[in-house]
Amino acid sequence: MARKKIALVGSGMIGGTLAHLAAKKELGDIVLFDIMEGIPQGKALDLSQCGPIEGFDAKIAGTNDYADIAGADVVIVTAGVPRKPGMSRDDLLGINLSVMKAVGEGIKNNCPDAFVICITNPLDAMVWALREFSGLPHNKVVGMAGVLDSARFATFLAWEFGVSVKDVNAFVLGGHGDTMVPVTSYTTISGIPVNDLAKIKGIAPERIDEIVTRTRGGGGEIVGLLKTGSAYYAPATSAIAMAEAYLGDQKRILPCAAYVEGKYGLDGLYVGVPAVIGAGGIEDIVEIELSDEEASNLKVSTDAVEELLVACKGLDSSLA
């Protein structure tokens, strides 16, 4: 069987980390693309030289030519600019929208059968725009946010409860912004609802609320510390899990920014929901029951995403 081809559009901090992880896991041969000449080529060469040490045979190439992503099975998009301290993800809208246009056309012309995972922020609006510009089917274009947001939630919960991260199954819905909705009622530790275990362990409900708030601001906390860019290790690790679910037809239920039409009261919007990822791309969306409070929080979050789409349409008339 021919080796799979993974195209990474954007070869910055997340792009380079993605390439390293994909090579170590032998997901396939890797093409790093960027508009900056020398960056993808240099990173590809550096990463190739990890091969003999780590024992991978994945071929890693760098390019500034979209023709080289032709036939990719998976495309992971990080092209654009990350935020700096004091910026929200939404502040990136204008510049990253024009980047999505170029990337969408590159994908449409070279690998229209790929499964495309978008990471560029503001995520829910950029994945929508990338789908519009590329013209790919909705089930083949998805945004990476929920896996990362739930990993952040799980990390903080594991620390608080003093348990292994392996036992925490955290659940986050909604847009990838300050309005995201960490859902404690579906969050469990070894199958025990987190609020029940908090009672058993004498952890005050306020502590769980603080963890929810920290999760919502999890990306901003890292931006504030790094000062020169945003998080990259965990975002890359999250997208690789999604790529593996697709390539391995794993049918994993992962929280993703998926296109929702008819469920959660939505009429065609990319937003974070539990989605089944398999060989068909996004094969299904699981509609869970929400409490009134969770449903109204989700509404706030989806309204914020819709506002961004209006802004996108105002910036690029081809989207209107």
List, as residue ranges, the binding site for NAD(+). Answer: 10-15, 34, 96, 119-121
- Both tokens assigned to 109: 């012309």
- Choose, by CB under 6 A, the member of 44, 58, 97, 119 that binds ligand APR: 119
Instruction: Please report whether residue 215 would count as binding ligand APR according to CB under 6 A.
Output: no
Q: Tell me the closest approach of the beta carbon of residue 116 to ligand APR, in angstroms.
A: 14
Q: Which is nearer to ligand APR, 133 or 161 (CB)?
A: 133
Is residue 176 flagged as an active site residue? yes
Total site size for ligand APR, rule CB under 6 A = 29
If one counts every other C-beta atom within 10 angstroms of the C-beta of residue 254, the result is 20
Region binding ligand APR by CB under 6 A among candidate stretches 10-18, 190-198, 247-255, 307-315: 10-18
DSSP 2: P
Instruction: Please report whether residue 120 would count as binding ligand APR according to CB under 6 A.
Output: yes
Q: Tell me the closest approach of the beta carbon of residue 68 to ligand APR, in angstroms.
A: 13
Rounded distance between C-alpha atoms, residue 148 and residue 270, angstroms: 16
Beta-sheet pairing, 29-33 with 5-9:
parallel
Q: Which is nearer to ligand APR, 81 or 253 (CB)?
A: 81
Q: Tell me the closest approach of the beta carbon of residue 186 to ligand APR, in angstroms.
A: 25
Region binding ligand APR by CB under 6 A among candidate stretches 9-17, 180-188, 244-252, 305-313: 9-17
- Both tokens assigned to 180: 């995201």
- Dihedral angle, C-alpha 234, 243, 88, 100, nearest 10 °: 140
Q: Tell me the closest approach of the beta carbon of residue 117 to ligand APR, in angstroms.
A: 11
Residues making up the binding site for substrate: 83, 89, 121, 152
If one counts every other C-beta atom within 10 angstroms of the C-beta of residue 23, the result is 24
Residues between 235 and 274 with contacts to ligand APR, criterion CB under 6 A: 235
Q: Tell me the closest approach of the beta carbon of residue 131 to ligand APR, in angstroms.
A: 16
DSSP labels, 70-85: TT-SEEEE--S----T
What character string, x for contact with ligand APR (CB under 6 A) and - otherwise, covers 24-53?
----------xxx--x--------------
Residues in the chain: 320
Rounded distance between C-alpha atoms, residue 124 and residue 145, angstroms: 9
Rounded distance between C-alpha atoms, residue 308 and residue 320, angstroms: 13
Instruction: Please report whether residue 229 would count as binding ligand APR according to CB under 6 A.
Output: yes
DSSP labels, 86-102: T--GGGGHHHHHHHHHH
Region binding ligand APR by CB under 6 A among candidate stretches 3-11, 43-51, 172-180, 296-304: 3-11
- Choose, by CB under 6 A, the member of 4, 15, 275, 294 that binds ligand APR: 15
Q: For residue 262, how far is the Cα from the chain centroid?
A: 22
At residue 311's C-alpha, the angle toward residues 230 and 296, to 5°, is 80
Exposure of 162 in the CB half-sphere (CA atoms within 13 A): 4
Instruction: Please report whether residue 14 would count as binding ligand APR according to CB under 6 A.
Output: yes
- Choose, by CB under 6 A, the member of 99, 125, 129, 208 that binds ligand APR: 99
Quickly list H helices, 202-291: 205-216, 218-226, 233-247
H helix or E strand, kind and range, residue 307:
helix 292-315
- Choose, by CB under 6 A, the member of 48, 63, 110, 121 that binds ligand APR: 121
Which one of 176, 230, 255, 294 is the catalytic residue? 176
- Interface positions with ligand APR (CB under 6 A): 9-15, 34-36, 39, 78-83, 92, 96, 99, 102-103, 119-121, 229-230, 232, 235
Query: Which residues are part of the catalytic machinery?
Result: 176
